[in-house]
């Protein structure tokens, strides 16, 4: 049974990861040397004054905000912050190349990729989508699997970004659809494939937080909450010399004000809804659903939707997200074995779709100069197309890559249930925490059910399986 001894990390645990990362690093450095150069010197001072402060704010969100938010797992905080750091770096470097190729070479007529601050901001947005996807599978995938999931996501993101903004002319200045919904459903689809052959128990003794880790995660929430307007408005500014329609000039101001109001509304609604459901405040709700207003506001942030409208959108997003954490996440895990460690479906997926629809509906009452199409009705139609295409690309890509990273496994890396959500498998000076007896009522599995196949819940270990609802292999 579990608990007799502390298993130590196996020799294979990072072997494939090291080989993969070395190969990816060599390839990226080579491609940078051959295909990139700096932007023209005329743009240097303009871009620094116009974009640099916004770029730093976006980086704080991705590297510090997301990283701290994911430290809620009591045995996985090293990996939450460390892998968030590494994977964001890998995605950013790859995104500079692929988004640069798409925007500048294929459709822009350049011969090489010119690196400027807007491209760095777009690459950081791609890293944000990757970390949203990471949140769906955190604790249940090896570093090698995570690395390849992120590498494969970037070309899909670049293609989808071109379709949303160029082919469909959709409204999505803050990435409700192209960043949040894309990242969420890519991660959820991959999570579904990672769970094949290993039934997730209703609760896992390591898939929980401690008082201390919840405080650190709450600090991450506050970083995200404070800097979210910068995330939305980073690329909404207009150069002083640009020849644009005057209706677009207040776009960055509207992004800031509407996003702040959306976040305020979501925070009020989350505290009220959480208390109404539980008669006490739930920290998971407060850490996550309070941010849903920023997600939902992203697509319509640069539109004239009125201050009251922005506040109401935030309120609705906060309620939707809180209800999702309470009812939808456990329902999907029980019915289709869909693991969602950080609840990205509720914070990013559903509010992201909501944001895309809000922008389409708001377009019905906007100045045509602000729209990508001749009428609000046409804009609404293309918003729906952009949402559906994003869901198809993200979900399809996630399903394929989730299957590949489990099926193509040269080092036979398999995480046991006991090794889920545990830093001890990968980090020095940290031991894998032995789980309690597998029939311990605190685990949430009925006494007549077994959910493991051996000493540590590893497929391939000797031992027993009962044909029960919570069996490890189904």
Residues 453 and 396 in one domain: no
Does residue 54 lie in a domain region?
yes
Residues 206 and 354 in one domain: yes
CB 140 within 8 A of CB 341: yes
- Rounded to whole angstroms, the Cα distance separating 249 from 264 reads 25
Does residue 11 lie in a domain region?
no
CB 341 within 8 A of CB 79: no
pLDDT at 469: 33
Give the torsion sign (CA, 299, 84, 184, 290): negative
Residues 354 and 458 in one domain: no
Look at residues 407, 433, 454 and tell me which one is the last residue of a structural domain.
407
Count of structural domains within the chain: 2
Residues 135 and 195 in one domain: yes
Does residue 430 lie in a domain region?
no
Residues 327 and 457 in one domain: no
Residues 350 and 466 in one domain: no
pLDDT at 303: 93
Measure Cα distances from 23 to 19, 26, 413 in Å: 6, 5, 19
Environment class of 199 (CB within 10 Å of its CB; exposed 0-12, middle 13-18, buried 19+): middle
Q: Which residues span the domain enclosing 466?
A: 445-474
Does residue 431 lie in a domain region?
no
Residues 222 and 273 in one domain: yes
Model's pTM, two decimal places? Answer: 0.89
Does residue 2 lie in a domain region?
no
pLDDT at 375: 84
pLDDT 10s digit of each residue in the chain, 474 long?
Answer: 344 444 444 544 577 889 899 999 999 999 999 999 998 887 777 889 889 999 999 999 999 999 999 999 999 999 999 999 999 999 999 999 999 999 999 888 888 999 999 999 999 999 999 999 999 999 989 899 999 999 999 999 999 999 999 999 999 999 999 999 999 999 999 999 998 877 777 778 888 889 999 999 999 999 999 999 999 999 987 655 444 455 556 789 999 999 999 999 999 999 999 999 999 999 999 999 999 999 999 999 999 999 999 999 999 999 999 999 999 999 999 999 999 999 999 999 999 999 999 999 999 988 777 777 778 899 999 999 999 999 999 999 999 999 999 888 765 566 777 788 888 888 888 777 777 654 454 444 444 444 444 444 454 443 333 333 333 332
pLDDT at 411: 56
pLDDT at 49: 87
Does residue 223 lie in a domain region?
yes
Does residue 6 lie in a domain region?
no
Paired residues of 36 in beta bridges = 113
What is the C-alpha R_g of the chain? 22
Residues 365 and 461 in one domain: no
Torsion of CA 348, 354, 356, 362, to 10 degrees: -140
Residues 472 and 323 in one domain: no
H, E, C per residue of the chain: CCCCCCCCCCCCCCHHHHHHHHHHHHHHHHHHHHHEEECCHHHHHHHHHHHHHHHHHHHHHHHHHHHHHHHHCCCCHHHHHHHHHHHHHHHHHHHHHHHHHHHHHHCCCCCCEEECHHHHHHHHHHHHHHHHHHHHHCCCCCHHHHHHHHHHHHHHHHHHHHHHHHHCCCCCCCCHHHHHHHHHHHHHHHHHHHCCCCCCCCCCCCCCCCHHHHHHHHHHHHHHHHHHHHHHHCCCCCCCCCCCCHHHCCHHHHHHHHHHHHHHHHHHHHHHHHHHHHCCCCHHHHHHHHHHHHHHHCCCCCCCCCHHHHHHHHHHHHHHHHHHHHHHHHHHHHHHCCCCCCCHHHHHHHHHHHHHHHHHHHHHHCCHHHCCCCCHHHHHHHHHHHHHHHHHHHHHHHHHHHHHHHHCCCCCCCCCHHHCCCHHHCCCCCCCCCCCCCCCHHHCCCCCCCCCCCCCCCECECCCCCCCCCCCCC
The enclosing domain of 285 has a CATH number of 1.10.3430.10
Residues 164 and 220 in one domain: yes
Does residue 268 lie in a domain region?
yes
Residues 452 and 402 in one domain: no
Residues 223 and 335 in one domain: yes
Look at residues 355, 388, 407 and tell me which one is the last residue of a structural domain.
407
pLDDT at 419: 81
Q: Provide φ and ψ at 136, rounded to 5°.
A: -75, -30
CB 8 within 8 A of CB 431: yes
């Amino acid at each position: 049974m579990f608990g007799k001894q502390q298993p130590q990390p196996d020799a294979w645990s990072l072997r494939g990861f090291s080989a993969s990362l070395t190969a990816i690093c060599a390839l990226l450095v080579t491609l940078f040397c051959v295909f990139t150069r700096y932007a023209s010197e005329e743009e240097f001072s303009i871009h620094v004054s116009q974009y640099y402060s916004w770029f730093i704010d976006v980086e704080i969100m991705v590297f510090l905000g997301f990283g701290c938010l994911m430290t809620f797992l009591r045995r996985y905080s090293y990996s939450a912050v460390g892998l968030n750091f590494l994977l964001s770096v890998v995605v950013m470097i790859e995104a500079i190349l692929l988004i640069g190729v798409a925007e500048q070479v294929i459709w822009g007529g350049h011969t090489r990729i010119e690196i400027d601050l807007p491209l760095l901001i777009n690459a950081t947005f791609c890293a944000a989508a990757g970390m949203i996807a990471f949140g769906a599978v955190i604790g249940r995938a090896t570093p090698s699997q995570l690395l390849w999931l992120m590498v494969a996501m970037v070309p899909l993101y670049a293609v989808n970004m071109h379709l949303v903004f160029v082919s469909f002319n959709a409204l999505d200045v803050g990435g409700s659809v192209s960043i949040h919904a894309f990242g969420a459903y890519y991660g959820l689809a991959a999570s579904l494939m990672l769970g094949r052959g290993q039934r997730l128990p209703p609760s896992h003794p390591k898939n929980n937080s401690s008082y201390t880790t919840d405080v650190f995660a709450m600090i991450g929430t506050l970083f995200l909450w404070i800097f979210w307007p910068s995330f939305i408005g980073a690329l909404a500014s207009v150069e002083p010399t640009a020849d644009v329609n005057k209706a677009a000039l207040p776009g960055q101001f509207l992004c800031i004000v509407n996003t702040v109001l959306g976040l305020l509304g979501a925070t009020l609604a989350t505290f009220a809804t959480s208390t109404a459901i539980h008669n006490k405040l739930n920290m998971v709700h407060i850490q996550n659903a309070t941010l849903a207003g920023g997600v939902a506001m992203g697509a319509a942030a640069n539109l004239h939707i009125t201050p009251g409208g922005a506040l109401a959108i935030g309120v609705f997003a906060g309620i939707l997200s809180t209800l999702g954490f309470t009812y939808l996440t456990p329902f999907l895990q029980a019915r289709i074995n869909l693991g969602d460690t950080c609840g990205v479906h509720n914070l990013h997926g559903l509010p992201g779709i909501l944001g895309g629809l809000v922008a389409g509906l708001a377009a019905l009452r906007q100045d045509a100069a602000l729209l990508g199409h001749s009428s609000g009705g046409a804009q609404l139609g293309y918003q729906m197309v952009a949402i559906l295409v994003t869901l198809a690309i993200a979900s399809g890509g996630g399903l394929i890559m989730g299957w590949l990273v489990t099926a193509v496994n040269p080092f036979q890396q398999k995480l046991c249930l006991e090794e889920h959500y545990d830093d001890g498998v990968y980090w020095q000076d940290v031991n894998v925490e032995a789980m309690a007896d597998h029939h311990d009522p605190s685990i949430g599995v009925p006494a007549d059910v077994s959910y493991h196949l051996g000493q540590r819940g590893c497929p391939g270990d000797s031992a027993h399986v009962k044909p029960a609802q919570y069996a490890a292999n189904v």
